[in-house]
Amino acid sequence: MKLTADQVSIALAGQSIVQGVTLDVESGEIVGLIGPNGSGKSTLLRAIYRMLRPTAGRIWLDDRDLWQLTARESAKRTGVVLQEMPASFELTVREVVQMGRTPHKGMLSLDSEKDVAIVAQALDRVKMLSFANQPYHTLSGGEKQRVAIARALAQQPKLLVLDEPTNHLDIYYQIELLTLVQSLGITSIVAIHDLNLAAQFCQRLYVMKAGRVVASGSTAEILTPELLAEVFQVRATCGFHPITNQLYVLYGSL
């Protein structure tokens, strides 16, 4: 599934937050959204997963206008993984993932054999099947994020929207989670702070500043000392690792 945002603007309480953003994510591609705090990344993503209606512009999923879809139709197409899910409710891991089947069921429908199988497959795919009966609130941060991905997978989406999914995780779980997303082959857009993770896992990047896209391109085109100094106000050194040949960024204050 291809995602396209065409001249999208969003205002909240009369204040312009996102202004004229145009971007696209090709089918199967992982595209990163980077930029300083307050640049409008999360606000734009909320419009993509229908939490905020744009004040101007349109968002397309393939050839369908997102806001012409019903909420159920949209939920069948788009899975969402946020920084963290509320941990106060007392549900098992399986019950949390079962929520992902809601768009595919009637209001009072019980889980079918197909639903049960899809939930089990989603848990197995994120290596959490053995935790299915464990209370969700007892999990570690990395385990909770894997459950969040399983819940999104249970929706059987064509698009994944991830808003800072690695923010509260240690390095091991950051890499594990994004490696998992990469292995899924699902069209994905991810807002991410860590530029080295962006370089490792994203095919292309869009840079936002003050509500606008100010640059876009491959990771090598975007992660340059000049652009990082302009957007993030940091002094950066960029290069390629001699063993892995992956792009890396080192930075400090100007």
225-247: pLDDT as tens digits: 999 999 999 999 999 988 888 89
Query: What are 144-166's pLDDT values in tens digits?
Result: 999 999 999 999 999 999 999 98
Query: In this predicted structure, what is the pLDDT of residue 49?
Result: 96
Assess whether pLDDT exceeds 80 at residue 254. no
Contacts of 73 (CB under 8 A, 6+ apart): none
pLDDT bracket for residue 141 (50, 70, 90): confident
Q: What is the pLDDT of residue 107?
A: 66
CB-side exposure of 114: number of CA atoms within 13 Å? 7
DSSP state letter for 35: -
Q: Concatenate the DSSP letters of all residues of 180-212 into one string.
A: HHHHHT-EEEEE-S-HHHHHHH-SEEEEEETTE
In the predicted structure, residue 88 carries a pLDDT above the cut 60 = no
Q: End-to-end CA distance of the chain, in Å? A: 41
| Two tokens, residue 21 | 């953003």
**44, amino acid identity:** L
Q: How does residue 142 score in pLDDT terms, banded at 50, 70 and 90?
A: confident
pLDDT at 77 over 70: yes
Measured distance CA(65)–CA(164) in Å, rounded: 25
Q: What's the CA gap between 153 and 215, in Å, rounded? A: 31
Ranking 21-25, 192-196, 214-218, 240-244 by mean pLDDT, the lowest is 240-244
Q: Mean pLDDT throughout 66-94? A: 87
Cβ–Cβ under 8 Å, residues 84 and 124: no
pLDDT of residue 116: 94
CATH of the domain at 126: 3.40.50.300
The range of the structural domain enclosing residue 115 comes to 3-253
d(CA 58, CA 6): 5
What's the pLDDT at 193? 94
pLDDT in tens, 125-138: 999 999 999 999 99
When mean pLDDT is compared across 37-41, 88-92, 219-223, the lowest value belongs to: 88-92
Q: Classify residue 198 as exposed, middle or buried by CB count within 10 Å of its CB (0-12, 13-18, 19+).
A: buried
Non-local CB neighbours of 168 within 8 Å, separated by 6+ positions = 83, 84, 141
Between 172 and 215, the more confident residue is 215
Question: Do residues 192 and 33 touch, judged by C-beta distance below 8 A?
Answer: yes
Q: What is the mean pLDDT of residues 97-117?
A: 85
Mean pLDDT for the stretch of residues 93-112: 85
Average pLDDT over every residue of 86-113: 82
Q: Count up the domains in the chain and report the number.
A: 1
**Taking a C-beta distance cutoff of 8 angstroms, is the pair 160, 126 a contact?**
no
pLDDT at 108: 65
Strand ranges (DSSP E) for 56-107? 56-61, 64-65, 78-81
The predicted pLDDT at position 83 comes to 83
At 39 the pLDDT is 97
pLDDT score at 178:
94
CB of 245 closer than 8 Å to CB of 228: no
